Amino acid sequence: MKHVIDDGLLRRFDVPGPRYTSYPTADRFVEAFGEADYALALQQRRSGGSLALPLSIYVHIPFCESLCYYCACNKVITKHHSKSAEYLRYLTRELEMQAQHLGQGHAVSQMHLGGGTPTFMNDEELADLMAMVQRHFTLVPGGEYSIEVDPRTVTPQRLEHLHRLGFNRLSFGVQDFDPTVQKAVHRIQPAEQVFELVAAARRIGFESVNVDLIYGLPQQTPESFRHTLERVRELRPDRIALYAYAHLPARFKPQRRIVTAELPPAADKLAMLSISLDVFNQAGYVYVGMDHFALPDDALAVAKRQGRLHRNFQGYSTQPDCDLIALGVSAIGRIGATYSQNAKTLEEYYDSLNQGRLPIVRGLALNRDDLLRRAVIMALMCQGRLDFESVGLAHLIDFRSYFARELERLHEFEAMGLLRLSPGSIEISDSGWYLVRAIAMVFDKYLQLDRDRARFSKII
């Protein structure tokens, strides 16, 4: 069986690194950036008129009925569904305050509900949430409107309701089909349930169905994970997100319930990745980049072929480079040359809004070097190619002089066959796409100055 990437390279790059949903990464945000800075960014966007970037919306719903032990998301575990009604009232208040600064009726081409479990909300609450958004924004035809779905919380009838509300993309959290693994991470969901829901989603007319998988979970083996992959191959979702489990119990309390001795050794974890790449490659999936696979006719794969791929806090996107309005506890947004993050606890989030303040607790105003390096990293991670002259003209620099040290380091990657360097460009090779995070890290100024990388997940 021919691997799409050499196992030796997988072992060599089994190191921590950022995921680059933003640059600079969120760990660089500072508390000195607050509500006033964010409000100013909104007002500047408003005064920019037609020059402003397209707009995207992210809504974070933190509630889950039960705890998945691997989870590193910001969530609230509760069986009390009345909490979501209260939360919706505060989301409404937050959006109204943002609209006061931004203005009404802006076109939105992308919206994503994440969590937690967005489908913790009942049908009426989800309808109210979508109506609230549409009171202040215009959801344009042809946009991406997606929601994360816990298969244990929906039925085919609920999926029909989501479609009527305007959602056209679904992402199902599967992680692993093996019952032993599911028990070890406290997430029991029969494969038949997922198959039924994916079939229903196709009948209903959702444009794309994504399935999330995780390798490196307790009780997983290369053999057991191969069985899961074969079931996924049979399911044939439009997109697959394949994540490596990062065991960081010191940072994420739920992970302390995982029995460390049950985690697969590093060699088995790498074997699972290698097997995954083989299975998806043979099944005809396109490797979009960094954990993401798509069928050739899916919009994400088409966007990659056409050089239209973009990346934001939700991952890869077919939509143009967007500003992002983020709503809800812990949500991270981007407006112009700024990033911002909301309060991380419900108590703090509610308290800010009760006082008539936007719940911004930290963020960052990007400087000229940040904007330049962001452009470089995003070009590499989305287009797989970088033209020195284009970047130089856009940012008024001589690329080869400005990045002389970085270009020197890239010769090592070129020797490994991960990229091609010419006098005027960098081009990622087929095998380099699988390690694009490592290539992007070369241009991360903050990371080069800070050798403490243990807070990041492994790049493979």
Binding site for S-adenosyl-L-methionine, by residue number, is: 58, 70-72, 115-117, 148, 175, 187, 212, 246, 332
Sorted by sequence, the CB contacts under 8 Å of residue 171 that are 6+ apart come out as 146, 147, 148, 149, 209, 210, 211, 212, 241
Contact (Cβ atoms closer than 8 angstroms) between residue 244 and residue 456: no
Q: Are 278 and 3 in contact (CB under 8 A)?
A: yes
What gap in Å lies between CA 339 and CA 21, rounded to an integer? Answer: 12
Q: Terminus-to-terminus CA distance in the chain, angstroms? A: 21
Residue ranges for the known binding site are: 58, 64, 68, 70-72, 115-117, 148, 175, 187, 212, 246, 332
- Listed in sequence order, the residues at least 6 apart from 185 whose beta carbon sits closer than 8 Å to its beta carbon are 68, 69, 70, 175, 176, 217, 218, 258
- Contact 174/232 with Cβ under 8 angstroms? yes
Element (H, E) at 77: strand 76-77
Q: Which of 328, 334, 333, 360 is nearest to 116 (CA)?
A: 328
- Buried b / exposed e along 33-57 (16+ C-beta atoms within 10 A): bbbebbbebbeebeeeeeebebbbb
In 383-454, beta strands by DSSP E: 385-387, 419-422, 425-428
Q: Which residues are annotated as a binding site for [4Fe-4S] cluster?
A: 64, 68, 71
Q: Could you tell me the two tokens for 204? A: 């209903």
| DSSP-based helix, strand, coil % in the chain, nearest 5 | 45, 20, 35
User: 241-279: buried (b, 16+ CB within 10 Å) or exposed (e) per residue?
Assistant: bbbbbbbeeeebebbeebeeeebbeeebbbbbbbbbbbb
Beta strands in 180-297 (DSSP E): 208-215, 239-244, 286-289, 292-294
3-state secondary structure 326-344: EECCCCEEEECCEEEEECC
As beta bridge partners, residue 66 has none
For 206, which DSSP code? -
d(CA 212, CA 232): 10
SS3 label, residue 278: helix
Asked if 258 and 70 count as a contact pair (C-beta separation under 8 A), the reply is yes
Do residues 29 and 363 make contact, with C-beta atoms less than 8 angstroms apart? yes
